[in-house]
Amino acid sequence: MTEDIYAKPDLTKKVRFQTGVKEDRDTDVCDDIDNVRIYDNFCAEESTPPEKSQDNITEDQQQTVSVNVSSEKRNVFGAAAVLLGLLCLLLLMAVIVLVVLYVVERNRLWEKNSNLQTRYSDEKGLNHNLTLKMNQLEEEKNHLKATNNNLTIERDELQKLLDERRCPNNWTRFGNSCYLKSTSMKNWTDSKKVCKDDKAELVIISSKEEQKFISSFMGQTWIGLTDEKREDGVWNWEWVDGTPLTETYWGDKQPDNLNEENYVEISDGLGKNWNNLPYHFQRYFTCEKVLE
């Protein structure tokens, strides 16, 4: 047996060792080396393999089953490792896709925000311009309102002037005056008072045209000419507004100054038709309202 141990080993053979099992696990393996059995797994060339005993066949099956089980575990672990690698790859790809989508969305949001900022700036500028325009329109409105108020005042003043220059009802306009011939007869003093109450005067004749116009009323009418202020027998004819007489239209042999005839009427007819009478005579009268 010692020669077999030191003999040159045949490396082309596979060797299987089997030892007996001892109850005492503390015994050194080398103490029981005589019980070791060595089996050649391969036969020498051109030799017939020895017949295996039933025990050897059972042991070979157990070894084969053990090898098969270990191989299946390795296959399962390998498949799990491949699957895990694929999952990691898919996860990495998903992360990459999410990062790309995040970057794209971030850039889109930045661009949108930039557009919104630009739009906000434009709208802010537009709002500022609109505010200035509104202020300008407000100033123009106030100016137009003030102008309208001024125009309204001017209109009212013009209307007032127009009304002042408009003859009242039943009055007749001639030149720059309105005339009204009475429908009742009164003495000269009462006639003057009626005209005064109507903000007028007994007619004052200041032109040939006016003399002709008053004469066209026909009938005997008082006019605003008197010499109540005659002094020392001197005729001092003047109109009721205090202006002196300059142009006369006395009738034939007038004024004759009979019976204190200090007041003047227009007789029938045209031309020179003035006649002086006492104040108590009853006559129609003509009032004159000068338009300003």
- Give the bridge partners for 179, in sequence order: 172, 288
The tokens 């005839």 sit on which residue?
261
d(CA 14, CA 63): 14
d(CA 87, CA 81): 10
d(CA 205, CA 248): 9
Above 60 in pLDDT, residue 237? yes
Structure confidence at residue 44 (pLDDT): 44
Q: In the CATH hierarchy, which fold is given to the domain comprising 172-290?
A: Mannose-Binding Protein A; Chain A (3.10.100)
Mean per-residue pLDDT, 160-171 = 78
CA end-to-end span of the chain: 170
If pLDDT is split at 50, 70 and 90, which confidence band does 69 have?
low
Mean per-residue pLDDT, 243-270 = 84
Structure confidence at residue 31 (pLDDT): 47
Q: Which DSSP category does 8 fall into?
A: P
Q: Which is nearest to 210 in space by CA: 231, 179, 236, 188?
A: 179
The tokens 């125009």 sit on which residue?
151
If pLDDT is split at 50, 70 and 90, which confidence band does 240 have?
very high
Beta strands 263-266 and 221-226 are antiparallel
The tens digit of pLDDT for each residue in 97-118 reads 999 999 999 999 998 888 888 8
For 144-155, b where at least 16 C-beta lie within 10 A, e where not — what string?
A: eeeeeeeeeeee
What average pLDDT does the structure give for the chain?
A: 79
The tens digit of pLDDT for each residue in 124-149 reads 888 889 999 999 999 999 999 999 99
Q: Which is nearest to 271 in space by CA: 254, 283, 258?
A: 254
pTM: 0.47
